[in-house]
Amino acid sequence: MRIIRTKDYEDMSARAADVIAAEVILKPDCVLGLATGSTPIGAYERLVERYRAGELDFSQVISYNLDEYRGLAHDDPQSYHYFMEQYLFSHVNIDPANTHVPDGANEDVEEATAGYDAQVAAAGYPDLQLLGIGNNGHIGFNEPDAAFSKGTYCVNLTESTIEANSRLFESADDVPRQAYTMGIGTIMRAKRVLVIANGEKKAQAVHDMIYGPITPSCPASVLQLHPDAIVIADEAALALCE
């Protein structure tokens, strides 16, 4: 696991954008695994800037997002499909047909999850998978559990995750209680994994991911076993990793 220490969120975002941009330049038809939440917004903004400057071409890029709230349609302003349109897809020349997000509006769990897994597998899995990390060590929506998950599945969100995400809703009561997420097994099949983290609230999770025992009680710890994992985090997030 390669650790890149950055000064702050802006520096973290720039370095993460560097890694993603390099993937697109070196392999124009690359498969990107993408993440949502507040952490990757800065990186997406920098990718948009580079596209507008003529430095990047997304026309052949294929993307697969990690997760989506169950019960939300693609056009729901709180959906992750909407998020990706807002912060990246609508600002670059990626083909909408090449962008994929789990179908939160599909109430048939088996169809929604197995179908998405089949799509990701048919694409050969991501060349680069972008990940954030939750305060409890979750990646995607893979919450602490008794065992590592395998393929895409429906997860019941923990109260800590609901509370953390409630800032994006009017209240915690409005946050969906379930989500479709790529499982740990699917994430680990990505050729390269890039984890980004910032802020002191992530310090314990980042420490446990890098140095703690490999355990499903900290899902991100499994990344210690990935052959090509990069962690880009600011000083606050790495405070316990001295």
**Paired tokens of 218:** 């900290």
Beta carbons of 178 and 70 less than 8 angstroms apart: yes
Strand, helix or coil for residue 220: helix
**CA distance readout (Å), 195 to 2, 52, 92, 182, 229:** 10, 25, 23, 15, 8
Cα(127)–Cα(120) distance, integer angstroms: 11
Q: In this structure, is the dihedral angle defined by the CA atoms of residues 86, 87, 92 and 93, taken in order, positive or negative?
A: negative
Catalytic option among 100, 138, 207, 226 = 138
Q: In this structure, is the dihedral angle defined by the CA atoms of residues 43, 80, 96 and 60, taken in order, positive or negative?
A: positive
Catalytic option among 23, 143, 208, 234 = 143
Catalytic option among 23, 67, 103, 234 = 67
Active site residue 57: no
**Paired tokens of 83:** 């998020």
Looking up tokens 């597998």 gives 121
Cα(66)–Cα(134) distance, integer angstroms: 14
Active site residue 138: yes
Catalytic option among 65, 98, 106, 136 = 136
Active site residue 136: yes
Query: What letter would DSSP give residue 158?
Result: P
Cα(147)–Cα(48) distance, integer angstroms: 38
Cα(225)–Cα(142) distance, integer angstroms: 17
Active site residue 67: yes
Q: Which residues are catalytic?
A: 67, 136, 138, 143
